[in-house]
Amino acid sequence: MADLEELVSKGEGLKDRKLKLFGLRLSGASIVAAFAFISTIIGTLYGGFLMYQKVEGIANLDLDAIAGQMAKTSSDVMRIEEHADAIKIELKKDMTDLRNAQWNLESKVDGKLQSVDTKLTNYDDKLDRFEIKVEKTKVDMEKRIQESLDNPLAN
């Protein structure tokens, strides 16, 4: 335990100690402050150097080449825009043609369906008339057969 007390007493004495450096007497806090000040100055100089490099890089850009590239890109965009407009017009025309073709097809199908319906109705009417004639012929035949059977001279 005595060793621990000795260490604590040595540590408490450190804050009061002063260091002599280049003829100046400095405490621990002033050394830390000087280190922070020097670090700030060095960091500022490094940041300034990086900023200088960036500015030099921007200053060395070939603006004519960039402007030329932008002009080429602009002309490409205009050309693509013209093609897109032409395609849009063609698509509208195609859509109109498709709508007209669909309408014509629907009209033809409706006409055919009406024609088929009319023919079916006519066939139904003819079939009804035929069945009536068959029935009448049947009745007439049965009547003649019966008359022939009832005739005493038929034997």
- State the maximum Cα–Cα separation within the chain, in Å, rounded to a whole number: 173
Mean of per-residue pLDDT scores for the chain? 85
Is the four-CA dihedral 41, 44, 50, 55 of positive or negative sign?
negative
Backbone angles phi, psi at 37, to 5 degrees: -65, -45
DSSP designation for 23: T
pLDDT band at 17 (very low <50, low <70, confident <90, very high): low
> What per-residue confidence (pLDDT) applies to 12?
58
- What's the rounded Cα separation, in Å, for the pair 31 and 18? 10
> What per-residue confidence (pLDDT) applies to 83?
93
The label of the residue with tokens 């049965």 reads 142
- What's the rounded Cα separation, in Å, for the pair 138 and 90? 70
Other residues' Cβ atoms within 10 Å of the Cβ of residue 89: 10
Least trusted range by pLDDT, from 9-18, 51-60, 86-95, 128-137? 9-18
Per-residue pLDDT of 25-82, as tens digits, reads 777 777 788 889 999 999 999 999 999 999 888 877 777 888 888 889 999 999 999 9
The label of the residue with tokens 């965009």 reads 77
- What's the rounded Cα separation, in Å, for the pair 55 and 48? 10
pTM above 0.75, yes or no: no
**Radius of gyration for the chain, computed over Cα atoms and rounded to the nearest angstrom:** 57
* % of the chain at pLDDT higher than 70: 85
> What per-residue confidence (pLDDT) applies to 2?
58
